[in-house]
Amino acid sequence: MKKVVALGGSNSKNSINKALATYVAHQLKNVKVSVLDLNDFDIPLYGIDYEDEHGIPKDVNRLNDFLASADGLVVSLAEHNGSYSAAFKSAYDWLSRIDKRVWKDKPMLLMATSPGSRGGASVLQTARITFPRMGAKIVADFSLPSFNANFSEEGITDTELKAILKGKIRLLQEAIKND
């Protein structure tokens, strides 16, 4: 059975991006899903001085192992002031110290959501440009605007957005199957 990692790029205990990534990963058929929460990894703020003194933290290696073992990735990014959350950026920086191909050339559905009407559009745009240089094989991307109005426990509530996302999920499903 293929393995998929769902990751929300936030350290919020109630991360809407983790909720979206989890929901989407569970829409895939015939896969085992591992939902990763950045709070489950003890990852300090990245800094070369820390790395020189302590080396790479063991939880960064553990996170790297999860990514390496996956056949596909569902990543949804929180947007803080137009960019990555500090928790995600630090984990990302640490991961790049192990392997510049952070995303391991795995098929990825890249997403973002926010409570606002732009749905994390700025961070999504940044990631679409930079992630491929770090080993991301982005097969589709999706932005969910106004999370609280468009998402419930049952998933996407807006019919049009639901149909768009279903097509993106299908693309990831095919990429995982054929990879």
Structural domain of residue 53, as residue ranges?
2-178
**Which amino acid, one-letter code, is at 18?**
K
Let me know if 3 is exposed, middle or buried by CB neighbors in 10 A (0-12, 13-18, 19+): middle
d(CA 87, CA 116): 21
The sign of the dihedral angle between the CA atoms of 71, 4, 11, 143 is: positive
Number of neighbours of residue 32 by Cβ within 10 angstroms: 12
CATH number at residue 156: 3.40.50.360
- Cα 110–Cα 31–Cα 148 angle in degrees, nearest 5: 45
pLDDT, tens only, 25-42: 999 999 999 999 999 999
DSSP 44: P
DSSP-derived pairing of the beta strands 136-144 and 106-113: parallel
pLDDT, tens only, 121-137: 999 999 999 999 999 99
Q: What is the pLDDT of residue 177?
A: 93
pTM, to two decimals: 0.97
| Number of domains comprising the chain | 1
